[in-house]
Structure 1
Amino acid sequence: MFLLEQLGRQHAIRPFDLRDRGLLLADGVFDTSLIVCGTMVLRSAHVNRLVRDATALEINIDQQRINDLLDNNLTEDQNGVLRITVTSGPAERWSLNTQMIPPTVLLSLSPLNRSDQFKPISLQTSLIRRNHTSLTSRHKTLAYTDNLAALRAARTEGYDDALFLNTRGNVCCVTTGNLFLKIGNTWMTPPVSDGILPGIMRQWVMKTAPHIGLGIIEQTITEDELRFVEAAFMTNSGRLAVPISKMDGRELRPQLPDGLEDTAMELVRTSSEH
């Protein structure tokens, strides 16, 4: 599925206005979510964050418009990963007065390889540092150059993904999701203030953890503390929760906390029944 809504009109295929600020300036945001039998898993959280991120960039869009697009275009036979892209629309390149311009909205549904869910991955610490003071670290914007460059570098060295530190040398995330680390007997995840995106699955794990006997704290984690990590996992909306098998050449036990995989699968199952 591919849908472009631009200037208030919907067409499966139509000319794209080449003045669009998302194309020229990466002035936009996006969201990726898991679609099961036409239902978006954790839909309210995804829509709310997308609108919140757009608002941070002064892009005028509301929940109702996004929900209408989803209701009108998702069908029961659709499964995969849905990307919703919202840009500030076509305007003069450096114009800051975009509030009256209807944003461009694109929906695209891609197939999901279910075998990638819960499949262990390896991480290499990136030389690129994440700017914890930037809007792009806390909001899911179109500016993904650092993520792509770090991912390419990690893949070249035989790793699956890259681990980001911020400019202070504290642990942030991986290029494709949030990070949870076990040091000693404590599971922890970096706070948003250290330059991480508040992921939807991160939020779900934090909320679900007490119900499966899992204690997680938000805490700044330094680069030096990485050598004490005994286990780790990554979360994102497509792959759910993925154990880390290796970090910078050091082998880890690639196992999720007890109950997490079953609870995540139950989330997907109950979503598909709605």
Structure 2
Amino acid sequence: MTQNRAFLYGDAVFETVKIVNSKILFLEDHYFRLMASMRVIRMEIPMNFTMEYFEEQLLSLAIDNAFSNSCRARITIFRNDGGYYLPETNEISFLIHVVGIENALYAIADQEYEVDLFKDFYVTKQLLSSIKTTNRILNITASIFANENGLNNCLLLNDSKNVVEAIQGNIFMLMGNKLITPPISEGCLNGVMRKQILEIAKNMGSLEVVEEVISPFDLQKADELFITNVIKGIQPITKYRKKSFDAVISKDLLGKLNEIVTAI
């Protein structure tokens, strides 16, 4: 462990997937995002690291631990030992961890979910912000801030002071019939669930779906706000400062998302 580059330098990328009935949800999207992340930080991708190999490694551990009905699995890929900032090799190893989840389908808890802005540190508008590396100190600090202030989550800002995402998911805002989420160029994570929700919303026909900058001032004018990630699905925000929000579209989208999950 003392020479592990993930531990010493955060020299690692990871992917978290949801497994339902021995199938990885949105497998292709997860695999290609992981491959893209490895390329961005110049890791060597082994010839045998195909999508089938990726799937096999995750599912076999879930099955071995009797979690194949419903679980979350995380694969962390790190550069092998050696060197300081400059690695001695670009070859990789990986670690997989699985945890059981009670519900296979996505659900929305009927309870208050309050957020506020996190202003201590900012997300940079760069490619590294869009991938999942193990350097998550901003998200950790924001989580502690949220806990200390009785919040369920925080919304992160980029260096232009625009709203980028939540601590552990992408942010969507509904204004009238317009559904807005920040573009990847703003520094938000290129989320797998973000992609699914964009596609579902566009197919609904009743919504204008756009990727646009969201300023903190826009939040007070929104009809709905919600957070997305592949484990939770959709988490409606019920309160931001003195403004309360509905969850009509959130619940509609969740129903359509569960139709996709059931069909996989």
Shorter chain as normaliser: what TM range? Answer: 0.7 to 0.9
Report the Cα distance in structure 2 between the residues aligned to 1:116 and 1:35, rounded to whole angstroms. 12
Residue 111 (str. 1) matches residue 100 (str. 2): yes
1:73 deviates by 5.0
Aligned position for 1:201? 193
Aligned position for 1:237? 230
- 1:44-102 per-residue CA deviation (whole Å, 9 max, x = no partner) reads 10011011011101111258526314315515651211111111121112224533x3x
- After superposing on structure 2, the runs of 4+ consecutive aligned residues of structure 1 that deviate more than 4 Å are none
Aligned position for 1:163? 155
1:200 deviates by 0.2
Instruction: Give 3-state SS (helix, strand or coil) of 2:80's partner.
Output: coil
1:237 deviates by 0.4
What is the 5 A alignment of 1:119-268? 119=109, 121-213=113-205, 214-257=207-250, 259-268=252-261
Q: Percent identity?
A: 24
Aligned position for 1:59? 43
Report the Cα distance in structure 1 between the residues aligned to 2:231 and 2:250, rounded to whole angstroms. 19
Q: RMSD of the TM alignment (CA)?
A: 2.1
Where structure 1 has 5 or more consecutive residues not aligned to the other structure, the ranges are 1-16
148-157 or 72-81: bigger deviation: 72-81
Report the Cα distance in structure 1 between the residues aligned to 2:58 and 2:213, rounded to whole angstroms. 41
Aligned position for 1:68? 53
1:258 deviates by 6.0
1:182 deviates by 1.2
Q: Is the 8 A contact 2:170 2:228 kept in 1?
A: yes
- Sort the Cα spacing of 1:135 and 1:25 in 2 relative to 1 into closer, same or farther, 3 A: farther
- Sort the Cα spacing of 1:95 and 1:20 in 2 relative to 1 into closer, same or farther, 3 A: same
Residue 81 (str. 1) matches residue 72 (str. 2): yes
Instruction: Give 3-state SS (helix, strand or coil) of 2:249's partner.
Output: coil
Aligned position for 1:26? 10
Report the Cα distance in structure 1 between the residues aligned to 2:193 and 2:102, rounded to whole angstroms. 18
- Sort the Cα spacing of 1:62 and 1:252 in 2 relative to 1 into closer, same or farther, 3 A: farther
Letter in 1 for 2:255: D
1:169 deviates by 1.0
Letter in 2 for 1:70: E
Report the Cα distance in structure 2 between the residues aligned to 1:125 and 1:222, rounded to whole angstroms. 11
Where structure 2 has 5 or more consecutive residues not aligned to the other structure, the ranges are none
Report the Cα distance in structure 1 between the residues aligned to 2:47 and 2:120, rounded to whole angstroms. 34
Q: Is the 8 A contact 1:117 1:238 kept in 2?
A: no
Letter in 1 for 2:134: L
Aligned residues: 253
Residue 42 (str. 1) matches residue 26 (str. 2): yes
Instruction: Give 3-state SS (helix, strand or coil) of 1:110's partner.
Output: strand
